[in-house]
Amino acid sequence: RGNAMQVLAHISVESGGENFLNCEGGGGVFHILHIYNDSINPLNTDKSIARGIEMIEYLTNQFGNPQTAAVAFNTSYGKLIKAKREFEKYMKRSPNHLEIMAYLKRTNPESHKKSERYEKLLRGHGKFLEKYFSYDEKNNRIMIIPQIKYPTRI
């Protein structure tokens, strides 16, 4: 089950919360490409978020960790899978995120750069969102943190 703040970070990076179609054939708040959206209307926010969460959960199961899943959601899925399989073939165990990224850096530097850039974007958006939202882990719910700009007397 996905963490609500992770979902919000993905939405923030992918679309900035805007619900529109893009020129790459994707759309909605998750900017899921048409070939992956299971024929849902990408502008249906609820279905777009549900499909995005499904995809992230699937990728987390594929890679065994949420960091690689987050990167695979946006960039280099095929190359990351290949890196994971090659690592498993030679090392006889599942790799962690850093091992997959190191392998990708050696075998495909351009994909590694894209993956690293997306990871930094997610981290940056996550830090920004933590400033304005708090996460109730027990209820998997996000709450807005009030921002008081001017001191007031009550």
Assess contact for 42 and 24: CB atoms under 8 A. no
Specify the pLDDT at position 1. 43
Specify the pLDDT at position 95. 93
Specify the pLDDT at position 139. 81
What predicted TM-score, i.e. pTM, was given to this entire model?
0.76
Specify the pLDDT at position 61. 92
Burial of 30 (0-12, 13-18, 19+ CB in 10 A): buried
Residue by residue, pLDDT tens for the chain (154 residues) are 457 777 888 888 888 777 777 766 677 787 787 777 777 787 888 888 888 888 888 998 999 888 898 888 887 788 889 989 998 999 999 999 999 999 889 988 998 898 899 888 888 888 888 888 888 878 877 777 776 666 656 5
Assess contact for 5 and 142: CB atoms under 8 A. yes
Specify the pLDDT at position 77. 84
Specify the pLDDT at position 97. 92
Q: Count the helix, strand and coil residues of the chain and give each as a percent rounded to the nearest 5.
A: 60, 10, 30
